[in-house]
Amino acid sequence: MEFGKRVVIAVDIAKEARGRFDELKEIHFSSGSDVHLVYVFQEIGFNFAIDAYSMAYPLADDRLAIEKSVNDALKKIGREVLPKDVKVHTHCIFSENQKEKLCEVVEEIKADVVILAARKRHGIFESSFAQYMLKHSERNLLILKDRQSV
């Protein structure tokens, strides 16, 4: 199967998820495609009622280091599993709502197809990114299943 020119791949960079990237080697991307590897880092906000104090994780000072580390990991993944004739773009995005932010990014890029991995085995996609994307995105969606949990 060959894909369009703008592809978004939602990436989980956790070590236990990296084995799933080998499945991307089986996909035939159009020559010259723009492939966007996207990782949405979970922000956590804290509000303290006393003294109306709030803070967020990650701290502003840590964000640049996290972004660099994630983008380096995404570039490595791109080199390892994607063909040499595609243009790889990496995106480390921070958001409290990862699913909503991924949908926004997909729409901004105007992706022809979105590739993501389903993590759960029970239900069809029960409460996963895949289910959310099916409901909230108009883009074509390719879902990679975990073959070990089938």
Cβ neighbours for 133, distance < 8 A, ≥ 6 positions apart? 99, 102, 103, 106, 114, 116, 139, 141
Environment class of residue 66 by beta-carbon count within 10 Å: exposed (0-12), middle (13-18) or buried (19+)? middle
Say what the pTM is: 0.84
Considering the domain 6-149 in this protein, what is its CATH number?
3.40.50.620
Give the distance between the most distant pair of CA atoms in the chain.
58
Q: What does the pLDDT read at residue 51?
A: 58
Domain edges within the chain: 6-149
- Closest by alpha carbon to 79, among 49, 35, 41, 136? 35
Q: What does the pLDDT read at residue 39?
A: 94
Ordered per-residue pLDDT tens for the chain, 150 residues? 456 689 999 988 775 566 667 788 888 888 889 999 999 998 887 666 665 566 677 877 899 999 999 999 999 999 998 999 999 999 999 998 999 999 999 999 999 999 988 765 545 555 577 888 888 998 999 888 766 554
Does 58 sit behind a cis peptide bond, omega within 30 degrees of 0 on the bond before it? yes
Between vectors from CA 86 to CA 114 and to CA 116, what angle results, nearest 5°? 20
The residue to which tokens 């994607």 are assigned:
82
Cα gap 80→60, rounded to integer Å: 31
**Secondary structure (3-state) at 105:** helix
Q: What does the pLDDT read at residue 22?
A: 76
Q: What does the pLDDT read at residue 19?
A: 63
Cα gap 91→130, rounded to integer Å: 19
Cβ neighbours for 126, distance < 8 A, ≥ 6 positions apart? 120
Cα gap 34→88, rounded to integer Å: 6
